[in-house]
Amino acid sequence: MTNRELFFRHLGQTSGFPLAIEISHAEGVYLHSPSGMKYLDLISGIGVSNLGHGHPEIVDAVKSQASKYMHLMVYGELIQAPQVLLAQKLCSLLPSSLNNVYLVNSGAEATEGALKLAKRYTGRSQMICFRNAYHGSTHGALSVGGSESLKRAFRPLLPGIKVLEFNNVEQLKSIDQNTACVIVEPIQGEAGALPAQEGFLQELRDACDRNGALLIFDEIQSGFGRTGALWAFEHYGVVPDILLLAKSMGGGMPIGAFVAPEGIMKSLTHSPVLGHITTFGGNAVCAAAALAHLTVVVQTKIWLQVYSKEQLFRKLLVHPQIRKLRGKGLMLAVEYENFCKVKKVVDRCLEAGLLTDWFLFADNCLRIAPPLIISEEQIQKACEIILEASNRI
């Protein structure tokens, strides 16, 4: 049987229409098929491969750590250099209040841990989220997601969840003395790269402070330079109580984290002991890859290149079929009239060697989230393909 046949027979599927393109290897901003087809990657595995595919320093870090040890013990019991050095590096790049890192395997796990931490620390159970937010697909993360279409088939979910409208300051009055936390993306990813409006996050911060609720920023998609700053919250001058990280964190390896002040994080150590536990979170090889990725990002200050690349996309992607280009940095959405047109553009881009897709809650928008290393020449090529595809819908 071919790999394609085995893919459909033995792997659980997430939809009835996967791309089902076989990839033999990937390098830089390109994915290669066994047949020799080359695809320019415009979505980075959904915001994962910030430094492209197969970055030599990340690969070397993986090889080096794998030769020393891989898994040793459940998280938090043994001192492992890749974990502690990664945590130290992260904390050195964050506001002083965010000084304690809990390493997990993914963004959804970071969400789960943060929700538990907020409930444990505050002693409250009510949680607030926003419409069209996406924080993961596990039960807790899904509970604070903002799409009933994804939730409906899996109810009952967590009780005590309020869903507000993103960027609606008036609705922030719903935050009260019963609120454990508010979880928000500074830039809503699956809503189609929708940024917080000026002043909204500050109003949210103030409302949480007045009521003793913890503010959780989900930077699972937006962190590590993607928006033109190392952290998206820097654009707004607002610091969260808990920060969620994942996706690009590991440079292609699976790892995530929730970061909080030490005094808050310690509440997971007692009553009960082992208030949160993970077997593979902070896996040594993944942590080594994450440290290498973060080191390169900081050394090169790659986020300083992002604004000019964003502007080039905005300059070139002008077409009668394109209604709007929104987002920040290299976290962009190209808006068309409807999903039918987006699907045609995606399919025709794929035929021409450009990999892109749409958003969960904005299926009339085309995703642009390439590796941050993408060159101006590669941006021009990508835009030429998108414009040509737009001519044919």
Closest CA to 103 of 266, 249, 299: 249
Rounded distance between C-alpha atoms, residue 247 and residue 192, angstroms: 17
CATH topology of domain 56-300: Aspartate Aminotransferase; domain 2 (3.40.640)
Q: In this structure, are strands 30-32 and 25-27 parallel, antiparallel, or unpaired?
A: antiparallel
Three-class SS state of 31: strand
Question: Which helix H or strand E contains 83, and what residues bound it?
Answer: helix 81-92
**The whole model's pTM is what?**
0.97
Q: What is the pLDDT of residue 20?
A: 85
Rounded distance between C-alpha atoms, residue 100 and residue 268, angstroms: 12
Please give the DSSP secondary-structure letter assigned to residue 14.
S
Within the chain, all domains assigned CATH 3.40.640.10 are found at 56-300
pLDDT in tens, 275-310: 999 999 999 999 999 999 999 999 999 999 999 999
Contact yes or no for 331/366 (Cβ under 8 A)? no
pLDDT in tens, 25-67: 999 999 999 999 999 999 999 999 999 999 999 999 999 999 9
CA distances from 181 to 12, 178, 240, 275 (A): 34, 9, 11, 18
Band of the pLDDT at 6, cuts 50, 70, 90? confident
Q: What is the pLDDT of residue 135?
A: 98
CA 355 to chain centre: 18
Give the chain's mean pLDDT.
97
Rounded distance between C-alpha atoms, residue 103 and residue 285, angstroms: 13
Residue reference for tokens 């030769």: 67
pLDDT in tens, 169-211: 999 999 999 999 999 999 999 999 999 999 999 999 999 999 9
Residue reference for tokens 């979910």: 157
Contact yes or no for 94/242 (Cβ under 8 A)? no
Contact yes or no for 201/305 (Cβ under 8 A)? no
- Asked whether residue 19 carries a pLDDT value surpassing 90, the answer given is no
Within the chain, all domains assigned CATH 3.90.1150.10 are found at 3-55+302-391
Which pair of structure tokens corresponds to residue 81? Answer: 């250099």
Which pair of structure tokens corresponds to residue 309? Answer: 């690349």
Which pair of structure tokens corresponds to residue 167? Answer: 């960027």
The side-by-side arrangement of strands in the sheet containing 25-27 is 25-27, 30-32, 38-41, 354-355
CATH of segment(s) 3-55+302-391: 3.90.1150.10
**Sequence letter at residue 112:** E
Closest CA to 220 of 138, 111, 131, 329: 111
Q: What is the pLDDT of residue 9?
A: 86
Ordered DSSP codes for 139-185 = HHHHHT-S-HHHHGGG-S--SSEEEE-TT-SGGGGG--TTEEEEEE-
Percent share of the chain, pLDDT over 90: 94
Rounded distance between C-alpha atoms, residue 393 and residue 387, angstroms: 10
Q: What is the pLDDT of residue 18?
A: 82
Taking the C-alpha atoms of 243, 214, 327 and 38 in order, what is their torsion angle to the nearest 10 degrees?
30
Rounded distance between C-alpha atoms, residue 216 and residue 185, angstroms: 8
pLDDT in tens, 125-160: 999 999 999 999 999 999 999 989 999 999 999 999
Q: Is the dihedral of CA 52, 53, 58, 60 positive or negative?
A: negative
Ordered DSSP codes for 185-233 = -SEESTTTSEEPPTTHHHHHHHHHHHHTPEEEEE-TTTTTTTTSSSSGG
